[in-house]
Amino acid sequence: MLIRIALLLTAASLAWAHDLSKGMERFKERDYPAAEQEMRDVVEMEPRNAEALRILGLSLVRQGKAPEAIPVLESAVAVGPDFPDAKLALAAGFAAEKKYTEAEKLIEEVTAQKSDHEELPYYRGMLAVLRKQYKEAMPDLETAIEKDPENGYAYYYAGLAYSNTKRPDKMVGAFNNFLRLEPKSPDAAKVRSFLKASR
């Protein structure tokens, strides 16, 4: 009986690990609906898995479902209070819902906890753009792009910053990179029509 239980537990943990790895792969491929589904399966089996909760929450944010993402990301932070990535993901959820003070507080917490976190420039730049602090956003977003040239949303926010500081050449380049990396994003249609109108 004990051997059977151990075998069942091993099979369950292998299935969980497979789904987690598959979900992370889908997220990296920017297939956010598929990543969401995979991570829901992991969270169902392992409700206190902070990384699965984080990826699930970010997948929802990227699909424009921030109200649904916030409680998931709050759970990720509650499970892993020393997990800076979960705090930054929650900051993205709050920012999408225009809860800028809450987002800023989390970004400050991560800065105090791990000031060299490689994603901090992106989140600071994102928040600055959303607060219409376009000039202030640009150095952070340029650093974010330098650190991770595959971060589609860094180009998106950089494009907005360039557009609002009258730098059309840089704006077009940033938005084209965003469309190349995130063609299925809910923001992609807006960017395409904006680029078309600005020709």
Average pLDDT over residues 1-10: 48
Tokens read off for 180: 């190349």
The pLDDT, as a whole number, for residue 6 is 45
DSSP 138: H
The pLDDT, as a whole number, for residue 19 is 77
- 119-199: same fold as 8-99+110-117? yes
pLDDT at 38 over 90: yes
The pLDDT, as a whole number, for residue 102 is 98
The pLDDT, as a whole number, for residue 9 is 44
Tell the CATH topology of 8-99+110-117.
Answer: 1.25.40
Distances (CA, A) of 2 to 5, 9, 116: 5, 11, 47
Phi, psi for residue 132 in degrees, rounded to 5: 65, 25
Per domain, the residue ranges of the chain are 8-99+110-117, 119-199
The pLDDT, as a whole number, for residue 12 is 44
Average pLDDT over residues 60-83: 95
The Cα 141–Cα 66 span in angstroms is 22
pLDDT band for position 14 (cuts 50, 70, 90):
very low
Question: Could you give the angle at which helices 152-163 and 168-181 cross, rounded to 10 degrees?
Answer: 160
Tokens read off for 156: 């998106």
The pLDDT, as a whole number, for residue 10 is 46
Which of 35-39, 55-59, 140-144, 185-189 shows the lowest mean pLDDT across its residues?
185-189
pTM here?
A: 0.88
The Cα 77–Cα 45 span in angstroms is 18
pLDDT at 166 over 90: yes
Tell me yes or no: is domain 119-199 CATH 1.25.40.10: yes
Q: What's the mean per-residue pLDDT of the chain?
A: 91
The pLDDT, as a whole number, for residue 17 is 58
